[in-house]
Amino acid sequence: MLNDAFGNNNSKSLLGEYSALLSDAVLRHRARTAEHSARIEAELLSRIKSEFIANMSHELRTPLNTVIGFSKLLTEHDRRQLKNDEIVQYAQLINDAADHLLTVINDILDISKMQSGRYTLDSSEILLNDLLTNAIALFKLRGEEAKIILKCDCEPDLPPIRGDKAKLHQIFSNIISNALKFTPAGGTIHLNAWHTQESGVAISIKDNGLGMSEEEVNIALTPFGQIDGSRTRWREGTGLGLPIARALTELHGGWLDIQSKKAEGTEVKITLPSRHVNFVTRGQQTTGRQNIPIA
């Protein structure tokens, strides 16, 4: 009897020690995994930050150099006797560079406001048919110059939605502009829009361009992320177009999804709720012009 009791106590003691050792091993493994994940995330953020600083230097200096250079030529008109067509050309180059510079600055200000947790929307009833048609028409000339076909197929009489017209236009413009940037000559960009079962609207912008891997999609949706972060990249941009489009979509109560395959193309799908759905963010309903917190 005494031996049995002693043996049981030893077994329980061994089981307890084994359980404690196993628990410690599991905790150490979890700590190592968490540390590894945190290190990878920190390295990615550090890389994105470094690339952003380098890219912003390029994005800001290039248009500024254009403005300074051609405006200086215009000031020398009396000495150089510039032709009228040269003056018009220089003025157009200055205007284009200034527009690009303003776009870069506005993108940086927009994402900064969103990340600070406060943003402003003007809420009104929007007819999407006209808005989408105008968004495609805005890029028709650029498409023709790049030899890219732009198509627009929207269901007639799409249901009105509630939102900020200027911000919705910015969403579609950012995505179409991005598609143009990564679609080679001879490619196609196709915009479709249709009713959803919940009385909302779904919009698809699909191209047959370069496409992205799953990892590259995640980078593209990260503020300031550049898939090609090198300073020798041939595509200009701040890396803010898609993050801003997704944030603005979510502020409208909708969601943005990207499906893409390398060498096959990319589809960006936006779903917007019915006009009867108010903007909801962090449990707060917003109507009219208000400051909206954003995660």
Other CB atoms within 10 A of residue 120 CB: 12
At 79 the pLDDT is 85
Question: Taking a C-beta distance cutoff of 8 angstroms, is the pair 93, 64 a contact?
Answer: no
The pairing of beta strand 201-207 with beta strand 265-272: antiparallel
Query: How far is the C-alpha of 41 from the C-alpha of 38, rounded, in Å?
Result: 5
Query: How far is the C-alpha of 197 from the C-alpha of 271, rounded, in Å?
Result: 11
Question: Taking a C-beta distance cutoff of 8 angstroms, is the pair 253, 280 a contact?
Answer: yes
At 11 the pLDDT is 66
Domains, the chain, ranges and CATH?
Answer: 59-116 (1.10.287), 122-292 (3.30.565.10)
Cα-based distances in Å from 151 to 121, 136, 195, 275: 29, 8, 19, 26
Burial classification of residue 268, based on how many CB atoms lie within 10 Å of its CB (0-12 exposed, 13-18 middle, 19 or more buried): buried
Scored b (16 or more CB within 10 A) or e, 84-116 reads: eeeeeebeebbeebeebbebbeebbebbeebee
pTM: 0.69
Question: Taking a C-beta distance cutoff of 8 angstroms, is the pair 285, 231 a contact?
Answer: no
Element (H, E) at 129: helix 128-138
Query: How far is the C-alpha of 61 from the C-alpha of 23, rounded, in Å?
Result: 57
Bridge partners, 161 (sequence order): 126
pLDDT tens, per residue, the chain with 295 residues? 545 554 566 666 777 777 777 888 888 888 888 888 888 877 766 776 666 677 777 778 888 999 999 999 999 888 888 889 999 999 999 999 999 888 888 888 888 888 777 777 888 999 999 999 999 999 999 999 999 999 999 999 899 898 999 999 999 999 999 999 999 999 999 999 999 988 899 999 999 999 999 989 988 888 766 655 444 443 556 778 899 999 999 999 999 999 999 999 999 999 999 876 555 443 333 333 333 333 3
One-letter amino acid identity for 54?
A
At 236 the pLDDT is 59
